[in-house]
Amino acid sequence: MYRLARPFLFGFDAERAHGLGLASLETAYRTGMTPLLARKPTPFPTRAFGLTFPNPVGLAAGLDKNGAHIDALLALGFGFVEVGTVTPKAQPGNPGPRIFRLPEQRAIINRLGFNNEGVEALVANVARARRKLGLLGINIGKNKDTPNELAVSDYLYCLERVYPLADYVTVNISSPNTAGLRELQEEQALRRLVGALREAQERLGSKHGKRVPMLVKVAPDLSEDDISAAARVLADLQVDGVIATNTTVMRPGLQSHPLARETGGLSGAPLLEKSTAVLRMLRTRLPDEIPLIGVGGILSGADAVQKMAAGATLVQCYTGLIYRGPGLIGECNAAIRRRKEMPSRGNLPIVQ
């Protein structure tokens, strides 16, 4: 069915199509029509961060920034859905146009800039969701007008409000679309921020009687030295997991494309190699007890398997969903299951 809907959606401006797509998913869910969009994947329980995920394929943050469509998205077959990025106060994001499709490259450039209705609105939406079909991650960030030296207060504010409702929380310090945000990945800034959040996480765990895992999402554009430094900090502070990666400001293979000069983060197929290389480096630098979520450039089951072979325990997609539709979820699940069921080939990773 998505093959029929895609030309219609691609006939609109990308941001309008985004809204129409979410509205259509919501309508399908409420009218019992979701099975026409996606075949429910075979359950494939996967353990990570002390949680059991119904299957290892999730939705990356950014599609449902305000947590308004959680049940509709879980009904597509995702094992988990990550909503946000959410900030303390509502903000409009960057001026439009701010999403650009590159269909021949199966890619998207966006410079949305954490547009969202604020954490209180997200909390209200999450509280209304049934969430019976999968787990929920909530991705938190800082407001655009909050200077980096005060960023910890924004992250703490969001963490305290989403903690009781989240299955896990992701700290987003890697979006390229909020000026200066990626500077928080620098070793000392990262240690201060994540250290404060880890203390709050333990305090909130005692207060609420449950421990909610906290993950950190990193950029694909870090140097090898920066990756090593970040891994050192995250291991020292014993974060629960790492998501690799966010979008890239680089334009691999797109230098001659007319949209290559548009500012913003590039996602989709051109990001696959770069994001997977960072994932692989992190896996060799982090202790085994810190699981990784692989995201960036997954447009097929083989791409998902490539992430698993590089060290991911779970995977997420977003741009692939735009180009391939909900069928991608089941395809990725099936490919990962086949890999898991294959006999070992010595100590070599199995790659399809």
Q: Please give the DSSP secondary-structure letter assigned to residue 345.
A: B
What pLDDT shows up at residue 344?
A: 53
Residue tagged active-site, from 24, 153, 174, 175: 175
Mean pLDDT of the chain: 93
Q: Which residues of the chain have pLDDT under 50?
A: 345-352
What pLDDT shows up at residue 177?
A: 81
**89-132 per-position pLDDT tens digit:** 999 999 999 999 999 999 999 999 999 999 999 999 999 999 99
User: Which residues is 268 bridged to in the sheet?
Assistant: 107
**210-223 per-position pLDDT tens digit:** 999 999 999 999 99
- Name the token pair of 222: 């870090």
The Cα–Cα gap between 163 and 229 comes to 28
3-class DSSP state of 247: coil
The Cα–Cα gap between 260 and 138 comes to 31
The Cα–Cα gap between 304 and 300 comes to 7
What pLDDT shows up at residue 345?
A: 47
Answer yes or no: 223 catalytic. Answer: no
